[in-house]
Amino acid sequence: MKIGIVLGSTRPGRLGDQVARWVHDRAARRGDAEFALIDLRDHPLPHLEAPPGFSGQYRDERTRAWAATVAACDGFVFVTPEYNHSVPGVLKNALDHVHVEWNTKAAGFVSYGGVGGARSVEQLRLVCGALQLADVAPQVTLPLATEFADRAVFEPGEHQLPALDLLLDHVVAWSTALATLRRGDAEAAIRQRLDAIVGGLRSKDLEALRRLYAPDVVSFDVEPPLQHVGVDAKLANWAKVFTFFEKVDYELRDLVIAVSGDLAVGHGFGRVSGTLKNGVVADGMWVRATFVFRHTGDGWVIVHDQASVPFDMATGRGMTELEP
Protein backbone atom coordinates (compact mmCIF):
# COMPACT_ATOMS: atom_id res chain seq x y z
CA MET A 1 0.00 0.00 0.00
CA LYS A 2 1.11 3.55 -0.76
CA ILE A 3 -0.65 6.28 1.19
CA GLY A 4 -0.35 9.91 0.14
CA ILE A 5 -0.30 12.56 2.88
CA VAL A 6 -1.75 15.57 1.08
CA LEU A 7 -0.83 19.00 2.49
CA GLY A 8 -3.87 21.01 1.49
CA SER A 9 -2.71 24.60 2.05
CA THR A 10 -0.28 26.70 0.02
CA ARG A 11 -0.82 29.94 1.95
CA PRO A 12 2.37 31.84 2.98
CA GLY A 13 3.02 31.30 6.68
CA ARG A 14 0.86 28.19 6.73
CA LEU A 15 0.93 25.88 9.75
CA GLY A 16 0.14 22.80 7.71
CA ASP A 17 3.74 21.89 6.93
CA GLN A 18 4.38 21.35 10.65
CA VAL A 19 1.29 19.17 10.94
CA ALA A 20 2.03 17.20 7.78
CA ARG A 21 5.58 16.41 8.96
CA TRP A 22 4.15 15.20 12.29
CA VAL A 23 1.75 12.89 10.45
CA HIS A 24 4.47 11.62 8.11
CA ASP A 25 7.03 11.03 10.87
CA ARG A 26 4.50 8.99 12.86
CA ALA A 27 3.31 7.07 9.81
CA ALA A 28 6.87 6.27 8.68
CA ARG A 29 7.33 4.09 11.78
CA ARG A 30 4.70 1.68 10.51
CA GLY A 31 5.52 -1.41 8.47
CA ASP A 32 2.16 -1.95 6.76
CA ALA A 33 2.38 0.76 4.09
CA GLU A 34 4.57 3.32 2.38
CA PHE A 35 3.75 6.96 3.12
CA ALA A 36 4.55 9.85 0.78
CA LEU A 37 4.15 13.55 1.56
CA ILE A 38 2.35 15.37 -1.27
CA ASP A 39 2.63 19.16 -1.02
CA LEU A 40 0.22 21.10 -3.23
CA ARG A 41 2.91 23.77 -3.59
CA ASP A 42 4.71 21.24 -5.79
CA HIS A 43 1.61 20.97 -8.01
CA PRO A 44 0.67 24.52 -9.08
CA LEU A 45 -2.53 23.65 -10.90
CA PRO A 46 -4.43 26.30 -12.87
CA HIS A 47 -7.96 27.17 -11.93
CA LEU A 48 -10.21 24.42 -13.25
CA GLU A 49 -10.71 25.27 -16.94
CA ALA A 50 -11.89 21.97 -18.42
CA PRO A 51 -14.49 19.32 -17.53
CA PRO A 52 -13.30 16.77 -14.95
CA GLY A 53 -11.37 13.89 -16.45
CA PHE A 54 -13.88 11.10 -16.09
CA SER A 55 -11.99 9.27 -18.86
CA GLY A 56 -8.60 9.67 -17.18
CA GLN A 57 -7.24 11.68 -20.13
CA TYR A 58 -6.07 15.26 -19.61
CA ARG A 59 -4.74 17.94 -21.95
CA ASP A 60 -2.78 20.12 -19.53
CA GLU A 61 0.71 18.90 -18.55
CA ARG A 62 0.23 20.09 -14.97
CA THR A 63 -2.98 18.12 -14.67
CA ARG A 64 -1.34 15.02 -16.13
CA ALA A 65 1.47 15.28 -13.58
CA TRP A 66 -1.05 15.68 -10.76
CA ALA A 67 -3.13 12.76 -12.05
CA ALA A 68 -0.05 10.52 -12.07
CA THR A 69 0.73 11.50 -8.46
CA VAL A 70 -2.81 10.69 -7.33
CA ALA A 71 -2.97 7.46 -9.36
CA ALA A 72 0.21 6.14 -7.70
CA CYS A 73 -1.46 6.13 -4.25
CA ASP A 74 -3.84 3.56 -2.77
CA GLY A 75 -5.23 5.91 -0.11
CA PHE A 76 -4.83 9.38 1.34
CA VAL A 77 -4.56 11.39 4.54
CA PHE A 78 -5.63 14.99 3.91
CA VAL A 79 -4.00 17.58 6.16
CA THR A 80 -6.25 20.62 5.96
CA PRO A 81 -6.90 23.90 7.72
CA GLU A 82 -10.29 25.56 7.93
CA TYR A 83 -10.59 28.87 6.10
CA ASN A 84 -13.80 30.83 6.71
CA HIS A 85 -15.68 27.71 7.84
CA SER A 86 -14.63 25.87 4.68
CA VAL A 87 -11.97 23.88 2.85
CA PRO A 88 -9.03 25.74 1.23
CA GLY A 89 -9.75 26.64 -2.37
CA VAL A 90 -6.46 25.17 -3.58
CA LEU A 91 -7.35 21.77 -2.10
CA LYS A 92 -10.84 21.81 -3.62
CA ASN A 93 -9.30 22.73 -6.97
CA ALA A 94 -6.83 19.83 -6.72
CA LEU A 95 -9.64 17.41 -5.86
CA ASP A 96 -11.74 18.61 -8.80
CA HIS A 97 -8.94 18.45 -11.38
CA VAL A 98 -8.97 14.65 -11.65
CA HIS A 99 -11.60 12.02 -11.04
CA VAL A 100 -10.92 8.37 -11.84
CA GLU A 101 -7.58 8.54 -10.03
CA TRP A 102 -9.42 9.10 -6.71
CA ASN A 103 -11.98 6.34 -7.22
CA THR A 104 -12.24 3.35 -4.88
CA LYS A 105 -9.57 4.52 -2.45
CA ALA A 106 -9.65 5.43 1.24
CA ALA A 107 -9.34 8.89 2.78
CA GLY A 108 -8.69 10.13 6.31
CA PHE A 109 -8.45 13.66 7.69
CA VAL A 110 -6.12 15.57 9.99
CA SER A 111 -7.42 19.12 10.41
CA TYR A 112 -6.45 22.23 12.30
CA GLY A 113 -8.05 25.60 12.99
CA GLY A 114 -10.20 27.54 15.41
CA VAL A 115 -12.41 24.54 16.13
CA GLY A 116 -9.82 22.03 14.99
CA GLY A 117 -10.81 22.37 11.34
CA ALA A 118 -13.89 20.21 11.93
CA ARG A 119 -16.14 22.21 9.56
CA SER A 120 -13.60 21.89 6.76
CA VAL A 121 -13.61 18.11 7.15
CA GLU A 122 -17.42 17.96 7.06
CA GLN A 123 -17.31 19.54 3.62
CA LEU A 124 -14.47 17.32 2.48
CA ARG A 125 -16.48 14.22 3.35
CA LEU A 126 -19.20 15.33 0.93
CA VAL A 127 -16.63 15.91 -1.82
CA CYS A 128 -15.07 12.49 -1.19
CA GLY A 129 -18.45 10.84 -1.70
CA ALA A 130 -18.72 12.41 -5.15
CA LEU A 131 -15.19 11.25 -6.01
CA GLN A 132 -15.85 7.68 -4.82
CA LEU A 133 -13.31 8.09 -2.04
CA ALA A 134 -14.22 6.05 1.04
CA ASP A 135 -13.74 8.39 4.01
CA VAL A 136 -12.94 6.65 7.30
CA ALA A 137 -14.68 7.69 10.52
CA PRO A 138 -11.69 8.34 12.84
CA GLN A 139 -10.14 11.78 12.39
CA VAL A 140 -7.66 14.05 14.15
CA THR A 141 -8.75 17.61 15.02
CA LEU A 142 -6.14 20.09 16.22
CA PRO A 143 -7.50 23.32 17.79
CA LEU A 144 -5.19 26.32 17.48
CA ALA A 145 -5.78 27.26 21.13
CA THR A 146 -4.53 23.97 22.61
CA GLU A 147 -2.15 22.39 20.07
CA PHE A 148 -0.18 25.43 18.84
CA ALA A 149 2.01 27.58 21.07
CA ASP A 150 1.12 31.22 20.44
CA ARG A 151 -1.14 29.86 17.68
CA ALA A 152 2.00 29.49 15.56
CA VAL A 153 4.21 26.58 16.68
CA PHE A 154 2.73 23.10 16.53
CA GLU A 155 3.09 21.31 19.88
CA PRO A 156 0.56 18.47 19.90
CA GLY A 157 -0.40 16.81 23.15
CA GLU A 158 0.48 13.16 23.69
CA HIS A 159 -3.23 12.32 23.60
CA GLN A 160 -3.23 13.08 19.86
CA LEU A 161 -0.95 10.13 19.03
CA PRO A 162 -3.51 7.36 19.71
CA ALA A 163 -6.02 9.29 17.60
CA LEU A 164 -3.52 9.57 14.74
CA ASP A 165 -2.60 5.88 15.01
CA LEU A 166 -6.27 4.89 14.84
CA LEU A 167 -6.78 7.08 11.79
CA LEU A 168 -3.80 5.49 10.04
CA ASP A 169 -5.00 2.01 11.00
CA HIS A 170 -8.31 2.65 9.27
CA VAL A 171 -6.85 4.28 6.17
CA VAL A 172 -4.44 1.40 5.58
CA ALA A 173 -7.08 -1.25 6.29
CA TRP A 174 -9.66 0.32 4.01
CA SER A 175 -7.11 0.93 1.26
CA THR A 176 -6.11 -2.72 1.43
CA ALA A 177 -9.71 -3.94 1.40
CA LEU A 178 -10.57 -1.76 -1.61
CA ALA A 179 -7.60 -3.02 -3.62
CA THR A 180 -9.65 -5.85 -5.12
CA LEU A 181 -12.20 -3.38 -6.45
CA ARG A 182 -9.47 -1.14 -7.85
CA ARG A 183 -7.94 -4.06 -9.73
CA GLY A 184 -11.34 -4.81 -11.24
CA ASP A 185 -11.78 -1.19 -12.30
CA ALA A 186 -8.26 -1.17 -13.75
CA GLU A 187 -8.81 -4.34 -15.74
CA ALA A 188 -12.00 -2.95 -17.24
CA ALA A 189 -10.19 0.28 -18.17
CA ILE A 190 -7.34 -1.67 -19.79
CA ARG A 191 -9.74 -3.78 -21.82
CA GLN A 192 -11.37 -0.56 -23.01
CA ARG A 193 -7.94 0.70 -24.10
CA LEU A 194 -7.34 -2.48 -26.09
CA ASP A 195 -10.77 -2.11 -27.65
CA ALA A 196 -9.69 1.41 -28.63
CA ILE A 197 -6.65 -0.05 -30.38
CA VAL A 198 -8.91 -2.32 -32.40
CA GLY A 199 -11.08 0.68 -33.25
CA GLY A 200 -8.07 2.75 -34.27
CA LEU A 201 -6.78 -0.01 -36.54
CA ARG A 202 -10.15 -0.54 -38.19
CA SER A 203 -10.44 3.19 -38.90
CA LYS A 204 -6.74 3.51 -39.80
CA ASP A 205 -6.51 6.41 -37.34
CA LEU A 206 -2.85 6.84 -36.37
CA GLU A 207 -3.55 9.80 -34.08
CA ALA A 208 -6.12 7.79 -32.14
CA LEU A 209 -3.53 5.02 -31.77
CA ARG A 210 -0.87 7.51 -30.64
CA ARG A 211 -2.91 8.32 -27.51
CA LEU A 212 -2.81 4.68 -26.44
CA TYR A 213 0.98 4.34 -26.34
CA ALA A 214 3.54 5.92 -24.03
CA PRO A 215 5.93 8.29 -25.84
CA ASP A 216 8.85 5.98 -24.94
CA VAL A 217 7.09 2.69 -25.79
CA VAL A 218 9.39 -0.19 -26.73
CA SER A 219 7.88 -2.71 -29.13
CA PHE A 220 9.20 -6.18 -30.03
CA ASP A 221 7.36 -6.91 -33.26
CA VAL A 222 7.54 -9.88 -35.63
CA GLU A 223 9.51 -7.91 -38.23
CA PRO A 224 13.00 -6.37 -37.97
CA PRO A 225 14.67 -4.67 -36.24
CA LEU A 226 14.86 -6.39 -32.88
CA GLN A 227 13.07 -3.48 -31.22
CA HIS A 228 11.07 -0.44 -32.23
CA VAL A 229 11.68 2.40 -29.77
CA GLY A 230 9.31 5.32 -29.32
CA VAL A 231 5.74 5.95 -30.35
CA ASP A 232 6.72 7.25 -33.79
CA ALA A 233 8.48 3.97 -34.57
CA LYS A 234 5.45 2.03 -33.35
CA LEU A 235 3.07 4.09 -35.46
CA ALA A 236 5.33 3.67 -38.50
CA ASN A 237 4.83 -0.07 -38.10
CA TRP A 238 1.05 0.33 -38.12
CA ALA A 239 1.26 2.75 -41.05
CA LYS A 240 3.09 0.02 -43.00
CA VAL A 241 0.22 -2.37 -42.28
CA PHE A 242 -2.24 0.19 -43.65
CA THR A 243 -0.35 0.33 -46.96
CA PHE A 244 -1.11 -3.36 -47.55
CA PHE A 245 -4.74 -3.46 -46.41
CA GLU A 246 -7.75 -1.71 -47.87
CA LYS A 247 -9.72 -2.79 -44.80
CA VAL A 248 -8.02 -3.82 -41.54
CA ASP A 249 -9.28 -5.91 -38.67
CA TYR A 250 -7.63 -7.05 -35.46
CA GLU A 251 -8.70 -9.79 -33.08
CA LEU A 252 -7.57 -10.64 -29.55
CA ARG A 253 -8.30 -13.99 -27.94
CA ASP A 254 -7.78 -15.53 -24.51
CA LEU A 255 -6.60 -12.23 -23.03
CA VAL A 256 -5.49 -12.43 -19.38
CA ILE A 257 -4.67 -9.24 -17.45
CA ALA A 258 -2.85 -8.86 -14.12
CA VAL A 259 -2.74 -5.49 -12.34
CA SER A 260 -0.44 -4.30 -9.56
CA GLY A 261 -0.49 -0.64 -8.60
CA ASP A 262 0.10 1.55 -11.64
CA LEU A 263 1.47 -1.34 -13.76
CA ALA A 264 -0.41 -4.08 -15.58
CA VAL A 265 0.49 -6.98 -17.88
CA GLY A 266 -1.75 -8.67 -20.42
CA HIS A 267 -1.12 -11.68 -22.62
CA GLY A 268 -3.13 -13.53 -25.24
CA PHE A 269 -3.24 -14.20 -28.96
CA GLY A 270 -3.64 -11.54 -31.64
CA ARG A 271 -4.26 -11.56 -35.36
CA VAL A 272 -4.27 -8.84 -38.02
CA SER A 273 -6.54 -9.67 -40.94
CA GLY A 274 -8.60 -7.88 -43.57
CA THR A 275 -8.92 -7.14 -47.27
CA LEU A 276 -5.76 -6.38 -49.23
CA LYS A 277 -5.45 -3.55 -51.76
CA ASN A 278 -5.97 -6.06 -54.58
CA GLY A 279 -9.25 -7.26 -53.08
CA VAL A 280 -7.92 -10.53 -51.69
CA VAL A 281 -9.21 -11.44 -48.22
CA ALA A 282 -6.27 -12.27 -45.92
CA ASP A 283 -6.86 -14.22 -42.72
CA GLY A 284 -3.45 -13.27 -41.35
CA MET A 285 -1.58 -15.28 -38.76
CA TRP A 286 -1.98 -15.70 -35.03
CA VAL A 287 0.82 -14.33 -32.87
CA ARG A 288 1.53 -14.49 -29.17
CA ALA A 289 0.79 -10.99 -27.86
CA THR A 290 2.03 -9.40 -24.64
CA PHE A 291 1.20 -5.90 -23.39
CA VAL A 292 2.66 -3.94 -20.49
CA PHE A 293 0.60 -0.96 -19.32
CA ARG A 294 1.45 1.93 -17.01
CA HIS A 295 -1.10 4.29 -15.50
CA THR A 296 -0.24 7.91 -16.16
CA GLY A 297 -2.03 11.23 -16.40
CA ASP A 298 -3.26 10.00 -19.78
CA GLY A 299 -4.82 6.89 -18.29
CA TRP A 300 -3.48 3.40 -19.00
CA VAL A 301 -0.94 3.51 -21.83
CA ILE A 302 1.17 0.76 -23.40
CA VAL A 303 4.85 1.02 -22.47
CA HIS A 304 5.87 -2.29 -24.04
CA ASP A 305 4.34 -4.84 -26.37
CA GLN A 306 5.60 -7.97 -28.03
CA ALA A 307 4.33 -10.10 -30.89
CA SER A 308 6.02 -13.41 -31.67
CA VAL A 309 5.48 -16.74 -33.38
CA PRO A 310 7.03 -20.10 -32.42
CA PHE A 311 9.59 -21.54 -34.80
CA ASP A 312 10.72 -25.02 -35.72
CA MET A 313 14.22 -25.43 -34.29
CA ALA A 314 15.23 -27.99 -36.94
CA THR A 315 14.35 -25.81 -39.93
CA GLY A 316 14.33 -22.34 -38.41
CA ARG A 317 10.93 -21.77 -40.02
CA GLY A 318 8.31 -19.67 -38.23
CA MET A 319 5.16 -21.62 -37.38
CA THR A 320 2.68 -19.12 -38.80
CA GLU A 321 -0.15 -21.58 -39.36
CA LEU A 322 -0.84 -22.33 -35.67
CA GLU A 323 -4.19 -21.33 -34.12
CA PRO A 324 -5.26 -20.81 -30.51
Find out whether 117 and 81 touch, Cβ atoms under 8 Å.
Answer: yes
Going by C-beta distance under 8 Å and a sequence separation of 6 or more, which residues neighbour residue 55? 100, 299
3-class secondary-structure state, position 142: strand
- Find, among 281, 278, 299, 301, the residue nearest to 291 by Cα: 301
Find out whether 294 and 300 touch, Cβ atoms under 8 Å.
Answer: yes
Whether 99 shows a pLDDT value over 80: the answer reads: yes
Give pLDDT tens digits for 24-49.
Answer: 999 999 999 999 999 999 999 998 76
Q: Where are the domains of the chain?
A: 2-177, 181-308
Give pLDDT tens digits for 154-171.
Answer: 999 999 999 999 999 999
Give pLDDT tens digits for 137-153.
Answer: 999 999 999 999 999 99
Q: Which CATH number fits domain 181-308: 3.10.129.10, 3.40.50.300, 3.30.230.10, 3.10.450.50?
A: 3.10.450.50
Strand partners, 318: 311
Give pLDDT tens digits for 120-137.
Answer: 999 999 999 999 999 999
Q: Rounded to an integer, what distance in angstroms lies between the CA atom of residue 293 and that of residue 305?
A: 9
How far, in Å, are 23, 56, 144, 255, 322 from residue 111 at the CA level?
A: 11, 29, 10, 46, 62
3-class secondary-structure state, position 198: helix
Q: Which CATH number fits domain 2-177: 3.40.30.10, 3.50.50.60, 3.40.50.300, 3.40.50.360?
A: 3.40.50.360
How far, in Å, are 20, 41, 125 from residue 17 at the CA level?
A: 5, 11, 22
For residue 304, what pLDDT is reported? 96
Q: Rounded to an integer, what distance in angstroms lies between the CA atom of residue 160 and that of residue 143?
A: 11
Strand duo 281-282 + 263-276: pairing: antiparallel
Q: Rounded to an integer, what distance in angstroms lies between the CA atom of residue 140 and that of residue 79?
A: 9
For residue 230, what pLDDT is reported? 95
Q: State the DSSP string of 231-264.
A: HHHHHHHHHHHHHHEEEEEEEEEEEEEEEETTEE
pTM of the model: 0.68
CB-CB neighbours of 151 under 10 Å: 11
How far, in Å, are 227, 239, 293, 303, 317 from residue 308 at the CA level?
A: 12, 19, 18, 17, 13
Amino acid at 86: S
How high does pLDDT run on average in the chain?
Answer: 91
Cα 251-255-260 angle, rounded to 5 deg: 135
Tell me which of 39 and 54 has the higher pLDDT: 39
For residue 61, what pLDDT is reported? 84
E strands, 62-147, are 75-81, 105-113, 133-135, 140-143
Per-residue pLDDT, averaged over 89-109, amounts to 94
**Inter-helix orientation angle 179-202/160-177, to 10°:** 40
- Find, among 166, 183, 203, 192, the residue nearest to 259 by Cα: 183
